[in-house]
Structure 1
């Protein structure tokens, strides 16, 4: 009896692993990953990326040169933004404004 219970527990565990593990990697993918020119859609500036790239209407800092250059008229002082990211396959993403 215990032998059958152990076999069924192992079978249920293996079945659960086979169904759950492959699906977790599906959710870890980015919609931009693996597409040609995906590095052009990364964005610039921590504030804008923190807002989920929804920064076009609020661009009022130095990263406005990337998102909406009309936002440069709202600057009250001199600012500088620098971004350096080492990506995949020897791709480097730099932005300075």
Structure 2
């Protein structure tokens, strides 16, 4: 179900970080962009989550095994496009899943 916000939305350029106003604990190492992908109860950890809120587009010109590997290294996720044979889709998924430490096995 779609939800419409009554208040106007904002972009990053509308915010200003004032030097000296934030505390010493506000450093990039303390920021988590972890995004849950499944429902979970308050106080529990979600069973599946992304480390970064990045997912590739489901477009042939954008998504592929190379982008899937790059996003997986950073904690993201990629979709494969469906305008190819099932065998080709399975091979693309296998290449991403078999990628280990910078080498395709």
Q: TM-score, normalised by structure 2?
A: 0.28
User: TM-score with structure 1 length normalisation?
Assistant: 0.29
Whose helix fraction is larger, Structure 1's or Structure 2's? 1
Which has the greater radius of gyration? 1
